[in-house]
Chains A and B, each alone.
Chain A
Amino acid sequence: MRNKDTHLSIRILALLLLGLALAGCGPQTAQTDAGGVSATIQNKGSDTIVNLALAWAERYQTLEPDVRIAVTGGGSGTGIAALINGTVDLANASRQIKTEEVEEARANGIEPVEFVIARDAIAVIVHPDNPVDKLTLQQISDIYSGKITNWQEVGGEDRPIVLLSRETNSGTHVYFLEEVIRLGESDNKTLFSLDTLLLPSSEGIGVEVRQNPNAIGYDGLGYVTPDMKTIAVSRGPEQPYYSPTAETVNTGQYPIARDLYMYTAGEPQGQIKAYLEWILSPAAQEIVLELGFVPVTAEGETP
C-alpha cells in the first residue's frame, strides 16, 4: 500500500514539474503559432459547450501529449468575438454566427469556417406523477406565456401550472424564448408570463421539478435525470409526438433541438485540423453522449 502511495506522489510531483515546465514554454509555443505548427490550441466560447470541450481536450491530450488545448467559457458571443480578434484558434458557439459577425471577421481578414460538432436538445420536464405526457409546441408556448394556467386544459389534473425557467443570461433561456414561446417567428413578440420563476441553475429547476407536481420546466437534455419525466413534443396537433432522444434529435424529428458549433479562422490547418477531425470521429462523439448531448452521426458534417 505504502509503496503504491509513494509511487503516486512521485507521479503527481512529476506532473506538477511537467506543468511548470510547460507553463514556462507557454510564450514560446505561442510564438510558433505564426509558423503554422501550433502546439497550443486556444479554445473559447459557449458555456453550454464548455464541459464538452474540456472533456474532449483532456482526452485528446492523453492521445497526443505534445498538443496543449486551453479551454475557456464566457459565452458564444465572447468566443466569436475572440475569433474575430484573432486571439483564439477555435470558437465554441451554441448558436450560428451572425452575418454582422462574419462581416466584422472579414474586415479583420479572417474567414470563419463552421463545424457542427454536436447537437443539443431542450427537454420539457415535469414531475413523474404528472399524467400529461405530450404537448404541442403551441401548447407549450401558451403555457409559458400564461394563456394556459391549469394542467386540466392540456389533459392533466386540476392543478395550477408553476412555470420554471433558467435566468435570462442563459443561452438556453433565449433559445427557448425564440424557438418555443415565439414558435420561431421573428415578428412574434410574446414574452414569458410574469409568473415564471427564474432559477439561477439547472440544479434549481431539477430540485423543483422532482418534488413539485405542479411544475413544468425545461433544460438541456444533458441535465435530465431519470427521476423527471420528459414530455413528448409535436410541431402541431395533427403531427406525431416525439420524445427527446439521441435518435429523434439526429433525424430532426424532435422539434426543440439545436446544433452546437465550432468556428475556425479560415480552413483549419495542422494540429487544429487534426483535432477537429478527431472531434468528429466516433471515439470523441462517444464523449458527447456521456455528457448528455447528442452526437452528430455522419462524420465530417461540414456545411
Chain B
Amino acid sequence: MTNEHEGQQKRSLSWVEFLIERAIQVSGISAIILVVLIFLFLIKEGTPTFLEIPLSSLFAARWYPIEEYYGLLPLILGSLIITIGAAVVSLPLGLATAIFIAEIAPEWVRDILKPFVEVLAGIPSVVIGFIGMLVFAPLIRVALDIPTGLTAFTGVLLLAWMALPTVVSVAEDVLDAVPKTYRDAGLALGMTRWQVIWRIVLPAGRSGVLMALMLGVGRAIGETMTVMMVTGNAARIPLGLRDFFMPVRTMTATIAAEMGEVAQGSPHYHVLFAVGLTLFVITFAVNMAAASVVFRQVKRAERMLS
C-alpha cells in the first residue's frame, strides 16, 4: 500500500469502520490465542508425566494403565497406521470423485453429486461407527477369513469414508480454480480430455490437492468415536502388514475411553494428557509440513511466471 492511499483511507475512517475493523482483528487473533491456550493447558497437564514415569516405561510395549503399564508405543503406532491407511485409501478415491465432479460430469449430475458428498460430511461419527460395527466388521471377517472383523483395516475404510467429503470438496474447489484458458490451450493443441486433466489441470492445482489430503489426514487422526467402535482397541504394537488386519488401539480412543473414570492429578490422568500432547504435536507437524510444501510451490510458480 502506498502512503498516499493510506492517508486517504485514514481520512474516510468513521468510528463504525474502526469498530468493525477491531472486531475482525479480535476474532482473527482469538483463534491464535485459543490454540496457544490449548497448547499451554496440554503442556501443564501433560508434562508431569515425564517426571512421574521413567522414559523407559513410556516407551515400553504394554499399555495397561490400571496396573501402571504406561507404554505409549502401541497407541502412537496404532494412530499412525490408521491415519496413513485412511490417507492412502481416501486420496485416490477423493481425487477421482473431485475430478469427476469438476471436469467430467455434466451439469445436472454435478448438481446432484455435490450436495450428496456434503451430506456425507454431516453424518455423525457414532452412526458411521455403528454401521461399521454391525455391517462392515462381520463382512470383513467373513470375506478375508480373519479371526475378527474389528481391525485396523475396518477403521481405515470407515475413516477414509469420513475423510472423503473433506478431500472431495477442497480438491474440487482447487480444480475449479484452475483458469479455463489452461484447458482451452491444451485442447487447442490437440490433447485429449484425459491428457488435459492429468497433464495440465492436476499439476496446476497440485498444492491445493496436497492441502486437501492434509485436511483429510487431520480429520482421520483426530477421529475418535468411529475408531473406538470398530478397531477393537487392543493395545498391541502394529509392525507388519499382517497387523493391518488385527485390532489396534489409537490415541484418541484411549483418551475417550479412559478419561471419564480417571482420578484428577493421578499419573494416569497426566499420561492421558501426554497422549493428547503427542497427538497435538503430530497434527501440528503435519500441518506445518503441508503449509511449507504449499508455500514453496507457490513461490516456485511465482518465479516461473516472472
Chain B residues 235-280 with CB under 8 Å of chain A are: 235-236, 246-247, 249, 256-258, 260-262
**Smallest CB–CB gap between B176 and chain A, Å?**
41
Majority DSSP secondary structure for residues of A touching B: loop
Segment of B104-112, B117-125, B144-152 engaged in the interface with chain A: B144-152
B247 touches A204 (CB 8 A): no
B164 at the binding interface (Cβ < 8 Å)? no
**Cα-based distance from A194 to B247 in the complex (angstroms):** 10
Segment of A108-116, A167-175, A290-298 engaged in the interface with chain B: A167-175
**Cα-based distance from A169 to B263 in the complex (angstroms):** 11
**Cα-based distance from A277 to B163 in the complex (angstroms):** 57
Q: B64 contacts which of A75, A168, A200, A215 (Cβ < 8 Å)? A: A168
**Smallest CB–CB gap between A84 and chain B, Å?**
15
Q: B233 contacts which of A75, A162, A199 (Cβ < 8 Å)? A: A199
Number of interface residues of A (CB under 8 A): 25
Number of interface residues of B (CB under 8 A): 32
A214 at the binding interface (Cβ < 8 Å)? yes
**Smallest CB–CB gap between B78 and chain A, Å?**
12
A15 at the binding interface (Cβ < 8 Å)? no
Hey, which chain A residues are within 8 Å of B64, CB to CB? 168, 191-192
**Smallest CB–CB gap between A129 and chain B, Å?**
14
B149 touches A167 (CB 8 A): no
Q: B133 contacts which of A75, A162, A191, A207 (Cβ < 8 Å)? A: A207
Q: B257 contacts which of A169, A197, A214 (Cβ < 8 Å)? A: A169
B258 touches A194 (CB 8 A): no
Would you list 18 pairs from A and B whose C-beta atoms are within 8 A, ordered by A residue?
Answer: A75-B261, A167-B233, A167-B258, A169-B262, A191-B67, A192-B64, A194-B234, A195-B234, A195-B247, A198-B232, A199-B150, A200-B256, A204-B133, A204-B229, A208-B148, A212-B141, A214-B147, A214-B148
A residues near B (Cβ < 8 Å) are 75, 159-162, 167-169, 174, 191-192, 194-200, 204, 207-208, 211-212, 214-215
Q: Please give 10 more A-B residue pairs, beta carbons under 8 A apart, in addition to A168-B64, A168-B258, A198-B249.
A: A159-B147, A194-B236, A197-B232, A198-B257, A199-B232, A204-B133, A211-B137, A211-B138, A212-B148, A214-B147
B residues near A (Cβ < 8 Å) are 61-62, 64-67, 69, 133-134, 137-138, 141, 147-150, 228-229, 232-236, 246-247, 249, 256-258, 260-262
